[in-house]
Structure 1
């Protein structure tokens, strides 16, 4: 970040009081994100109220000495002038361990505690670790027991070392302000009496450094808070992760810390470690990240997470959700509806003129005209017409004496006997009264 931006932030966010700040973080809501943030400002700053040291700022804000020094490499750790701006830590990448119990990242000089029964919360504390010749062990263990106001029984090897330096130790150091274990101690389930404990007033500024004989040393208020909340049997993970990567809101960050004494890596070795972590974090694919930023982070080693790469958000995050008023209604099941009977479309039919029935002439026989019936095609109507005509003829036939039995000839008794038009009219009435139109069903 540019210097002008740093001082612009200082005008809006400056700390001049000596109160400590909470070290409780809320885990990111997005699954898979592992970057936590303490302050709303991207770069929180504090202004020196008087001439003091960076160690004073570290003590005030519960930061480690190495951490505060690496963040302010342009300042003299032993002389911060009144009015000068001091940069504080904000973002942190969670170590690659299960989100349970306690994680001690030795390379970072920092502890992460996931309180039982408080999902979505993590607490972070600065601590000191073992020196090069008294390394803090790595691996998984647990809290074996808790002791308040513990007495210290230094092992013979430590007593010999102190005696050689002109600082002999008694066989037992009783509880008190000068007890190196402080007021609280969590004993780990490891051989060799390894503990997470407080500190004496003489070594309180050594928090965040390689200074112990293998134990983990904390600020007095931090160990007190941890002691009250942690329970016996809590899992403890001791890891060494100087380089960490993690996601936050589809942005990939990298965080690089200085190497422990005696375990220095070359720049090429750091680059290889970082590249492997980036690939694993991105579904085993190397993204098109900013290599200039990566190289600068691996050289500077200030422990501040920097953004390397931004991926496209998932599709459901890109597509805005419809407002409630436009949301699709819930499906409603309606009872089945019986279809109405189809009505025939009206068809215009040209009326067929009705031909008057032919009148039989005088003679031996009288034949019916072929065009007596109405001109309609349906067989049922034709049969009905034929039946009506036949009935009419049969009625007349019964009144006369037939002279010839051959069908269909009929011998008439009167000359010029005509078939009455009413017979045809009756046929029409039986067909329908529509004037020759046929209505289908």
Structure 2
């Protein structure tokens, strides 16, 4: 077993042990502080009367995540006995490894329990007209069984559709905040649960960050008031593991015009910034594949310098 295989195996073992102990969310221990990847993708078999969304929730994967990783698979009627890929490998966002990091295009939250230990959860984020803000924030209050006080903007939206929204929704099964809420120092923004768990992993909220009920319960009991929250917009992530560079690409959020108009140029800028720090030989075909598919699955895009060289005329289209 080589060093790369040992690293992946140990990360997966920790994830499985922690999942069994704490629920569905995966927690990874970074034995190498320079490593940028966690987890490992794997295949599962579809059971009778099981939807793709059932599989996603059982493995703590968001709805868009599992759809992108399994193109052509019907979300409601996957074929029993067929195999579905669980995209449970992640390049860590380029951000300070501290507190909570939310990457909007990925619709995934990372919680650094310590610099060596990180948990990750799928989330829903705000729609284009209800954008989740970028930048740094912090948790200022933790609430169990919160009441929901719909803001005027939500009431106006409901009124435009001929509906009414009460001034307050008490705790219970009809409360869209779920059973737990973490309030940020950004007025009106929360990290909370939901009474519609199958919407997690989509862009459906009014700006808040929505987690699965089992995930917010776990996070609520772990995170502390004043924990830092970094909200980033990184449709392209690159990272190293055992001297090899990986590329992970997600569909950019609608309002990220720079990435949407020319994803190739945007991705190459991110890649070359990394290569300035750590030179490597690119595998152009894999760069192209990741950019074309945008499925969130990390791909190896470099070879170690001691491997047999291959002529690369164009680092993207070879």
- With the shorter chain as reference, the TM-score category is 0.7 to 0.9
Match status 1:124 vs 2:126: no
Per the TM alignment, residue 310 of structure 1 is displaced from its structure 2 partner at its CA by 2.3
Per the TM alignment, residue 119 of structure 1 is displaced from its structure 2 partner at its CA by 4.2
- Counterpart CA distance in 2 for 1:66 and 1:130 is 14
Q: Residues 224 and 58 from structure 1, CA distance in 2 versus in 1: closer, same or farther, beyond 3 angstroms?
A: same
Per the TM alignment, residue 267 of structure 1 is displaced from its structure 2 partner at its CA by 7.4
Q: 1:231 aligns with which of 213, 220, 224?
A: 224
Taking the TM superposition and a 5 Å limit, the aligned residue runs for 1:194-233 are 194-200=189-195, 203-233=196-226
Runs of 4+ aligned residues of structure 1 deviating over 6 Å after TM superposition are none
Q: 1:69 aligns with which of 48, 67, 82?
A: 67
Q: 1:239-260 CA distances to partner (integer Å, 9 max, x unpaired)? A: 1100000000111000000122
The normalised TM-score by structure 1 is 0.62
Partner of 2:304 in structure 1? Answer: 311
Q: 2:179 aligns with which of 178, 183, 206?
A: 183
Partner of 1:159 in structure 2? Answer: 155
Partner of 1:86 in structure 2? Answer: 84
Per the TM alignment, residue 190 of structure 1 is displaced from its structure 2 partner at its CA by 1.0
Q: Which has the larger radius of gyration?
A: 1
Per the TM alignment, residue 52 of structure 1 is displaced from its structure 2 partner at its CA by 2.9
8 A contact 1:131–1:214 mirrored in 2: yes
Q: Residues 153 and 265 from structure 1, CA distance in 2 versus in 1: closer, same or farther, beyond 3 angstroms?
A: same
Match status 1:257 vs 2:250: yes
Per the TM alignment, residue 78 of structure 1 is displaced from its structure 2 partner at its CA by 2.2
Q: Residues 101 and 75 from structure 1, CA distance in 2 versus in 1: closer, same or farther, beyond 3 angstroms?
A: same
Taking the TM superposition and a 5 Å limit, the aligned residue runs for 1:249-398 are 249-263=242-256, 269-284=262-277, 287-312=280-305
8 A contact 1:198–1:219 mirrored in 2: yes
Q: 1:284-329 CA distances to partner (integer Å, 9 max, x unpaired)? A: 476431111111110101100000002247xxxxxxxxxxxxxxxx
The normalised TM-score by structure 2 is 0.85
Q: Residues 221 and 166 from structure 1, CA distance in 2 versus in 1: closer, same or farther, beyond 3 angstroms?
A: same
Paired residues in the alignment total 285
- Ranked by relative contact order (alpha carbons within 8 Å, sequence separation 6 or more), the top structure is 2
Q: 1:40-85 CA distances to partner (integer Å, 9 max, x unpaired)? A: xxx4111111143211111111111000000000211221021111
Supply the RMSD in Å over aligned alpha carbons: 1.9
Flag structure 1 segments of 5+ consecutive residues without an equivalent: 1-18, 314-441
Per the TM alignment, residue 100 of structure 1 is displaced from its structure 2 partner at its CA by 0.5
8 A contact 2:25–2:215 mirrored in 1: no
Per the TM alignment, residue 156 of structure 1 is displaced from its structure 2 partner at its CA by 1.4
8 A contact 2:97–2:115 mirrored in 1: no
